[in-house]
Amino acid sequence: NCIKNCFYFIVFTQFITLLLHFFKYTRKYHRHHHCKQRRCFPLHSRVPFP
């Protein structure tokens, strides 16, 4: 039971961290959404979805 709770906690914290990075980068690179170059999108190297 503890292992299951610890697993859920780790997954949850990872998910929150990804969300925070996602919102931070989308806010930061918001005006560069038209640019297709990789250097404008550090977001793609961190999360599996565009």
User: CA–CA separation, 20 vs 38, rounded Å?
Assistant: 20
Q: Give the range of the structural domain holding residue 27, as residue numbers without chain letter.
A: 2-46
Maximal CA-CA distance, the chain: 47
Tell me the average confidence (pLDDT) per consecutive run of 10 residues in the chain, 50 residues long.
90 90 68 52 50
What's the CA gap between 44 and 8, in Å, rounded? 25
Give the pLDDT score at 26. 67
Token output for 12: 């949850």
User: Tokens standing for 18?
Assistant: 């990804």
pLDDT at 29: 56
pLDDT at 15: 92
User: Domains in the chain: how many in total?
Assistant: 1
pLDDT the model gives residue 33? 53
